[in-house]
Amino acid sequence: MAAYGLYTHIASNKFRSMLLLAGLFVLVYVMVYAAALIAEVMIDSGRSADTYLAAAGRDLVKDFPLATGAAALWIVIAYFFHQSIVDAVTGGEDVTRQQQPRLYNLLENLCISRGIPMPKLKLIDSDALNAYATGLNRRQYAVTVTTGLLKALDDQEIEAVLGHELTHIRNGDVQLMVIAVIIAGAVGFFAELFFRSFTNFGWGYGRGRSWSSSSSSSDRDNRGSGGGAVIVIIIAAALIGLAWLLSQVVRLALSRSRELLADAGSVELTKNPDAMISALRKIENRGELPGATSAVMELCVDNPREGFADLFATHPSVDSRVRALVKFAGGHDPGPLALPSDMEPDDRPQPPAPGQGPSGPWGDANDSDGDAGGASRGPSQDASQEPAQGPWGRHVGPWGTSG
**Is 40 tagged catalytic?**
no
292: exposed, middle or buried (C-beta count within 10 Å: 0-12, 13-18, 19+)?
buried
Look at residues 356, 362, 361, 386 and name the one whose alpha carbon lies nearest to residue 374.
362
Report how far residue 69's alpha carbon sits from residue 160's, in angstroms, rounded to the nearest whole number: 41
Closest CA to 116 of 153, 150, 146, 141: 141
In Å, what is the CA distance from 35 to each residue of 193, 205, 211, 226, 237?
A: 10, 16, 19, 19, 9
Of 122, 89, 75, 93, which is closest to residue 293 (Cα–Cα)?
89
Query: What's the N-to-C CA distance of the chain in angstroms?
Result: 95
Give the separation between CA 187 and CA 110, rounded to whole angstroms: 38
Asked whether 367 and 374 are in contact (CB, 8 A), the reply is yes
Name the DSSP class of 275.
H
- Long-range pairs for 197-205: beta carbons < 8 A, 24 or more residues apart: 198/38, 198/233, 198/237, 202/38, 202/41, 202/42, 202/233, 203/233, 205/42
Q: Give the chain's radius of gyration (CA, Å).
A: 34
353 backbone φψ class: left, alpha, beta (φ>0; ψ -120 to 50): beta
Q: Which of 40, 165, 259, 298 is catalytic?
A: 165
Torsion of CA 98, 273, 342, 102, to 10 degrees: -10
Q: Which residues are catalytic?
A: 165
